[in-house]
Structures are given as structure tokens and as C-alpha cells.
Structure 1
Amino acid sequence: MIKGIFETHINVSNYQNSAAFYDKLLNIIPLFEDSTRKSKFYWVGKPGESMLGIRENYPSPLIQRQHFAFKVNLDDISSARDYLSDLGIETTNFLGESSENLLVFPFMPAVSIYFKDPDGHSIEFLAMLKDPPKPELDIMTLQEWEELHGRG
């Protein structure tokens, strides 16, 4: 029955700084801002599909770093990496290395890049691959995955 995550909320140290960050991400659509509660909400992708909420110092000023992933298409990974770089946002692969070297998680299979928001929350752009999962394999480069499937 479960189709995906509809709503994610994160605690931020300064909702205006975080809003300025999230306002720049592609397909993050501002939905509602409540300055009294120091919070802002966004549609992710199309309105009504999924939502991200940010809220300053809730329930406390302690920020617990969190991780979440946005689903993207494989063709969009490189352009997303370039877009984030143009914004001055560093991207890495799963191992913390340059995101130029894309890695595949064979158990899914999927490819992703990682970056951080102003509070250090770990954000991932993840693209599912159309190949069948290979959980017996370790993480490998996209080039190795493609060669394994006769496309390299």
C-alpha cells in the first residue's frame, strides 16, 4: 500500500536562511510560510505529491542532523550536480568523494549524489535504475555497472 514518503519535516537553526537555500532547489515549490511559528512548507515535485517542512528550533534549539532523499531521473543527476555547483553547493557520492564518480547501490539499484543544507542535513538526489537488483554485489561505479550490463 505504501507508495513513498509524503511529508518530511526538519528542524533548522534559522528558518529564513534555510528557506533561502530550499527556495533555490529545482522543483521545490513554496507552499506556505508561517513567520509566527518560524516555519515554511514546500511541495516537492508536483503540488500534492509530497511535502517538505522546515521549522526553526522545534522542538528545541538542538539540531539533530537528518537525512532524506529526493527522487530524480538518472538523466537529471549530472544537471543537478552542475546546478548545485553553480549555487556554490558541494556534492559528493556516498563515500564522500567527488560526485563526478557516480556510485551504484546494486541492492536497489540506484545512483545518487549527496549535499548538505545550511544546518548540515544530508540531502540526496536518488535515481532508480531500470536493471534488476543485484544485492549480492558491493557498491560500484556507474561505469562498472554499465559494463556489467553490456552497455559500457
Structure 2
Amino acid sequence: MIKGLYETHIQVSNLENAVKFYTEILSLKLAHQDENRRIAFLWIGKGKDFMLGLWEQKGDLQTRHFAFTADKEDILNYSAEFLRNKNLKPYNFLKNGNQQPMVFAWMPALAIYFNDPDGNQLELISILEGEGKPELGVLSYEEWLERTS
């Protein structure tokens, strides 16, 4: 019955700034904005495939994490540079100081992280072919290739 996740919602401190970030920086499309309720809905992908809801919240925000699906080649070849060009800091969980994508071996999936202006943790992710190898943990894409080839 369940075929996928259609939408998710996050809290933001300033609705206009958040809409600007997600539309101008990440190229999502504004679907609807309700000034009375201080919410906005953004389309992700083609047409009406997926939706992100932005809810303005005064006071303490409850930051969240969610991931955008991306092509493996785009993550490998363009993501870190794209994010830095948008004044965003890409990061991974490798603890080696680089800003390159990593592989979650249990899935397996290639991923890179960055934060929105409110501290919500965003991810670009691409599921890799093949079986997961949980024993490998989190590793660089190069290490993944070496250990699975």
C-alpha cells in the first residue's frame, strides 16, 4: 500500500528567508504560501512528485533531518563544489577533515550533508547497486570501491 514518502515538514525561524533559501539556492519550486498561518509548501522534483512544508516557528526550533535523492554522478562530481559555491559547508561522518561524499555501507548509499540556515540537517543521497556490507560502517567512496570490487 505505501509507495513512498510524499512530503515532510520542518520548522524555520523566518519564512521569507527559508523560502528564498529553498527556491533560490536549492531550486525547489514554491507551490503555495499561506501568510496567515506562516507556512509555505515547495515542490521537489518534477511536477508534484514530492513536497516540503516550511512552518515559521518563533522561539526554539526543533531542527530535523531529511534527504534529497540525487544521482550518484552528481553527488560524486558536483555536490561539494555546488554546495561551497552556494556558501554552504558540505560535510560527512568520516572524521578526516575532507568534504567529500561518504558511503553508508549497510544500505549501501552515497551521501553528503549540509545544513540550511536554521540548522536543519539536509542530505543528498543516492542508493548504490549491490548488497549492503554493514561490517564496513561508513567509508569513503574510494574505499567502498576498493573493498567491494
Question: Normalised by the size of structure 1, how large is the TM-score?
Answer: 0.88
Give a deviation string over 1:123-148, Cα, whole Å, max 9, x none: 00011101211123221111011112
Greater shift in the superposed pair: 88-97 or 141-150: 88-97
Give a deviation string over 1:66-119, Cα, whole Å, max 9, x none: 11111111011132322221111111013464322x221111000111111111
Unaligned 5+ segments in structure 2 are none
Alpha-carbon distance in structure 2 between the residues aligned to 1:120 and 1:33? 22
The letter for the 2-side match of 1:148 is R
Q: Does 1:141 align with 2:135?
A: no
Taking the TM superposition and a 5 Å limit, the aligned residue runs for 1:66-81 are 66-77=64-75, 78-81=77-80
| Conserved 8 A contact 1:27-1:45 | no
Alpha-carbon distance in structure 1 between the residues aligned to 2:135 and 2:117? 36
SS at structure 2 position matched to 1:24 = helix
SS at structure 2 position matched to 1:2 = coil
Q: Does 1:61 align with 2:59?
A: yes
The match for 1:128 is 127
Alpha-carbon distance in structure 2 between the residues aligned to 1:88 and 1:120? 14
Unaligned 5+ segments in structure 1 are none
Taking the TM superposition and a 5 Å limit, the aligned residue runs for 1:28-67 are 28-57=28-57, 61-67=59-65
The match for 1:91 is 90
RMSD of Structure 2 on Structure 1 (CA) = 1.7
| Conserved 8 A contact 1:114-1:125 | yes
SS at structure 2 position matched to 1:112 = strand
SS at structure 2 position matched to 1:118 = coil
| Higher share in helix | 2
Deviation at 1:32? 1.0
The match for 2:12 is 12
Question: Normalised by the size of structure 2, how large is the TM-score?
Answer: 0.89
Alpha-carbon distance in structure 2 between the residues aligned to 1:148 and 1:90? 28
Q: Does 1:105 align with 2:91?
A: no
Alpha-carbon distance in structure 1 between the residues aligned to 2:27 and 2:72? 16
The letter for the 1-side match of 2:141 is L
